[in-house]
Chains A and B, each alone.
Chain A
């Protein structure tokens, strides 16, 4: 997980609260991704970014917003948290050419 840092690691929210997850990288990679992973399930892409100032929707974007104002940071926002958003969130980065992605350690979010 070197080079990709997610904050916070754990969070409990009440329904309707908002929060922002931060993904920070020091590898100067262009691509950044946010995934969620529910118990026993595969990764599902929420949003991704191919460069500073650009974002795109993934497979499950509803209820989330993202921003990439700086190349090294990719923020994931939940405006009004719902219990269905209880999950583990992973940030990943990759460069333009290789298929190798580097993942953060994950953020475990519980919405009650």
Chain B
């Protein structure tokens, strides 16, 4: 079983609509959780970071939430734009050697 599970696997929405992406984890993380955005053909880039004392953090149209008790995080995108089309990946640090653990990502397609 993957230590970081993301849902849905893919999502298609119309421009201007909102959406929420989910990340559930089982690993006991060392420090924090981070969301990445990966544009097609490019490496992932950090979008927002959540420490385990935070419940909500916003970065423009992106809002991340974290429930450390249930080990769930979500990324909410408001008023989606065509440029939001990308994969969104949830990442934690954990494991026996403290390495980064990546979820498989949610592929978001925003249609005009």
> Nearest A residue to B102 by beta-carbon distance?
A43
Report how far A50 CA is from B44 CA in the complex, Å.
Answer: 20
Q: How far is the CA of A98 from the CA of B87 in the complex (A)?
A: 21
Q: Which residue in chain A gives the minimum CB-CB distance to B9?
A: A42
In the complex, A94 has a CB within 8 A of chain B: yes
Instruction: Answer yes or no: A31 CB below 8 A from chain B CBs.
Output: yes
Whether B43 lies near A33 (C-beta < 8 A) is no
B110 within 8 A of A: no
Size of the A side of the interface (Cβ < 8 Å), in residues, is 26
Which residue of chain B lies nearest to A35 when distances are taken between CB atoms in the complex? B102
Q: Give the A-B pair count, Cβ closer than 8 A.
A: 65
Which residues of B82-110 are within 8 A (CB) of A? 87, 89, 91-93, 97-100, 102-105, 107
B97 CB contact (under 8 Å) in A35, A56, A92, A100: A56
Smallest beta-carbon distance B36→chain A, Å = 8
Chain B residues within an 8 Å CB radius of A96: 98
Q: In the complex, are the beta carbons of A42 and B43 less than 8 A apart?
A: no
- In the complex, how many angstroms separate the beta carbon of A104 from the nearest chain B beta carbon? 6
Q: Are B102 and A42 in contact (CB under 8 A)?
A: yes
Q: Are A99 and B49 in contact (CB under 8 A)?
A: yes
Known pairs A41-B104, A42-B104 / 6 extra A-B pairs, C-beta < 8 Å: A33-B99, A40-B107, A50-B99, A98-B31, A98-B93, A101-B36
**Chain B residues proximal to chain A, CB less than 8 Å:** 30-34, 36, 41-46, 49, 87, 89, 91-93, 97-100, 102-105, 107
